[in-house]
A and B are shown apart, each in its own frame.
Chain A
Amino acid sequence: MDEQYEDINRELMLDGNAVAGLLQEVFGVEMTANPAECAHCGVVSDLGALWAFTQAPGAVLRCPACTSIVLRMVETPDAVYLDARGATYLRLERHAR
């Protein structure tokens, strides 16, 4: 049962690329080639390489090494909520193209 549930989830899984537009809207720069450190396991991944789940109302980005949640984003008509508790840091390139 659990295994099947796990498989369904994995089939729906996308990459951080899938929320590149929303990330760029929030940060004002292209973000998928910028890295974040997972607060749980310490592995550093480009945001584009995080696992993305977008079926729920909102987007969840998980660490590909330990599957912990790194970022959560929810859009409302007036605002975007960003929960980054799962990241020790996000690195933004100063002169990103």
Chain B
Amino acid sequence: MKRPIEWQIANVKAVKQETPRVKTFTLTLPDWLPHRAGQHYDVRLTAPDGYQAQRSYSIASEPERMGEIDLTVERLEDGEVSSYMHEVLARGDQIEVRGPIGGYFVWESMQGGPLLLVAGGSGVVPLMAMIRHRQRSGSDVPTRLLYSSRTPDDVIYFEELDELRAMDSGLEVIHTFTRRQPPGWKGYARRIDAQMLDEVIAPLGKMPRVFICGPTLLVESAANSLVEISVPTSQIRTERFGPSGA
């Protein structure tokens, strides 16, 4: 794509509270372009005195949905942009964005699989775009999502993931809860480690395409663990979010 990316004014079509700390903003774009699952948009705020703050947010929606995008945003305590979006931005408002951006952390159904997706917290967002794209494009590549959350209340897209998993034999969702588990929980209850990855990856063989997204330390640890269990680094793509929210 040769043309430079331009800033444009998006309209907020809907705001959905996903979890206590996470909201999804549906934006309609006058200059919409199809994105690739995993790409992001830059969001820019400008104060009356000209001060600007800018952040990148992953697209949660699939490219098959035309004319609009979902950005799922976690509220960070000291986040200039995320606080504004959570506290001020409402349906009918406008916001300045540019995108879609990025070509490294992306997956398109024609690339095939199998896919191992590893998420920590809101790191699930670009992976959700991949899962939605996989489903909408009719892809049947075996896909496993390993999703680490602090508590069951922190799981983003819980119901949709459950529904997708139930109707699609090729998709597995494996949760791990690091701080509080649901009553009677028999699944993982610890941080992602090499043993967990070894168990989760087993049905996919040693050569799946791997996408890891989350807080920097989780991504580091997961990527190193995968190398430990002999997954080639060339198969692993990472996106780090920086320090975790709390």
Contact = CB atoms under 8 A, between A and B. Distances in A.
A48 B102 CA distance: 8
A47 B104 contact: yes
B243 interface: yes
A30 B217 contact: no
Contacts, number: 79
Given A15-B239, A17-B40, A97 B103 contact: yes
B102 A17 contact: yes
Interface string A7-38: 00011111111101100110011111100000
Interface of A: 10-18, 20-21, 24-25, 28-33, 46-49, 96-97
B90 to A, nearest CB: 25
B139 interface: no
Nearest to A47: B104
B42 interface: yes
Contacts of B202: none
Contacts of A20: 40, 56, 101-104
A24 B40 contact: no
B88 interface: no
Nearest to B104: A48
17 contacts: A11-B242, A12-B242, A15-B105, A17-B105, A17-B239, A18-B240, A20-B40, A21-B101, A25-B4, A29-B2, A30-B1, A30-B103, A33-B104, A47-B104, A48-B103, A48-B105, A96-B103
Given A11-B242, A20-B102, A47-B104, A97 B42 contact: no
Contacts of A13: 216, 240, 242
Contacts of B172: none
B238 interface: yes
Contacts of B217: 10-11
B216 A12 contact: yes
- Which 3 A-B pairs give the minimum distances between C-beta atoms? A48-B104, A33-B103, A32-B104
A48 B40 CA distance: 13
Nearest to B56: A18
Interface string B215-246: 01100100000000000000001111111000
A14 B242 contact: yes
Contacts of B167: none
Interface in B1-19: 1-5
B63 interface: no
